[in-house]
Structure 1
């Protein structure tokens, strides 16, 4: 049995292909909506984040022989727990990582952390749109929400827990854009124009994360882009294409069967 961390839409597509290739798997996702997509493909799903201890328990309970970590490029804790769990139990770890992208533009600033991004946005001032999700929202509200020279706009998924977090942080309802992508370049530009945005904060999530459309839309409008670089994690058996992951599993599965 393979434990599959299906953190993104492209990861869930990979999970479906792994199942179609004949490999039994148990997927883990964070939201019920993601689970529905996999359940429709007759894939068993665990909903909820797993800490390291829970990861180990799941490996033992389901007799997991390999982990495919296809979590989001910024799901650092999930990857570290998967790496540690695989090492502790002596099973294989395979990483599916979206291709990285390189941007060069005088209006684009690369930073290493959310804290650096918040500080840079504070220096720039004006209308700052966050497209970084709700998990790290407090990092930005602590530094920017009550600054007289900054208007903070947050774009995030229209989930109840996200709205509750915004309310707890005192985030103005009028400055929340609750919507699910992916979005076209034209849609992004219309949204930037609607709020008169002059700074956009995003993450280097890869082309599958629709980063290109956001970045190009912003830069074409003269909007400063602050891009948070991916966490630096030393992955084993890292691949960026579905067929490479399936080929690796096939080699290992053949070895187990022989």
Structure 2
């Protein structure tokens, strides 16, 4: 089976699959993502897919089930995986990161455009904890506010390329404790913090607690709405469904082989 990974959820799933003796191959987009699985027996491939390359990958590796455990905001690969698996007749399963319950005082934005406004950004010190891919959206605001960005250490060059001054890019690896997050916010003294609905693994619960402690407005971007053919936030349910789909695929393969054998005998 194939596992679209690079997240803590994909690591947990790969661990259980290994324990169950189910072969898997994970795909990630960075070398940092590869390190998540360094003590596990499965194969890990660092790549970025297009529709043809994903189809080729699934066919070459004989994939019978694909589990998408990508980041909640990695909608491009999720949409691509759903499209290609549907075309190839391969089951698609979504292992979704559970959300964090948001306090009523948290400002919730339905999309990026809702925070790219004078009312949120203009004239303020803003800490962005939105991931490096979203930083180009904030580039045009550099002359109207002071932007800081916290990203993964390996993403610092990309953040600078996106237009954030190097001295305002903080490379830190998650997860951070409450105390670590608190010290960072106190040192930067932001007037606004913008984050994504990235769940516990993305540190949202800690950010919410620190924002409340310091009285700093916190904006959270909602997850992009996607309709999955199958989705669960429960690891046990995902593993059980993997087993069920793999068993069905194996039975179908055996049936097709038997039918081919009988046809050959008659001929």
What is the TM-score when the length of structure 2 is the normalising length? 0.88
Give the drift of 1:14: 1.0
**For residues 247 and 160 of structure 2, what CA distance do their matches in structure 1 show?**
52
Change (3 A) 1:100 1:36: closer
Extract structure 1 runs of 4+ deviating beyond 6 A. Answer: none
Q: Output aligned runs, 1:88-127, within 5 Å.
A: 88-106=87-105, 108-119=106-117, 120-123=119-122, 125-127=123-125
Structure 1, 166-175 or 215-224: larger mean CA deviation: 166-175
**For residues 64 and 94 of structure 1, what CA distance do their matches in structure 2 show?**
13
Alignment-derived partner of residue 255 in structure 2: none
Give the drift of 1:210: 1.6
Q: Which of the two has higher C-alpha Rg?
A: 2
Alignment-derived partner of residue 151 in structure 1: 146
Give the drift of 1:34: 2.2
Alignment-derived partner of residue 37 in structure 2: 38
Alignment-derived partner of residue 17 in structure 2: 18
Question: Per the alignment, in what secondary structure is the counterpart of residue 141 of structure 1?
Answer: helix
* Counterpart among 240, 245, 249 of residue 252 in structure 1: 245
Question: Per the alignment, in what secondary structure is the counterpart of residue 25 of structure 2?
Answer: strand
**For residues 58 and 121 of structure 1, what CA distance do their matches in structure 2 show?**
43
**For residues 170 and 207 of structure 1, what CA distance do their matches in structure 2 show?**
28
Gaps in structure 1 of 5+ consecutive residues: none
Alignment-derived partner of residue 243 in structure 1: 236
Alignment-derived partner of residue 178 in structure 2: 185
**For residues 135 and 55 of structure 2, what CA distance do their matches in structure 1 show?**
30
Give the drift of 1:245: 0.7
Give the drift of 1:110: 0.8
* Counterpart among 139, 142, 151 of residue 141 in structure 1: 139
Deviations 1:213-237 (A, max 9, x none): 0111012211001100001000122
Deviations 1:26-53 (A, max 9, x none): 1101111221332431211110221222
**Higher normalized strand content (fraction of residues):** 1
Asked if residue 216 in structure 1 is aligned to residue 209 in structure 2, the reply is yes
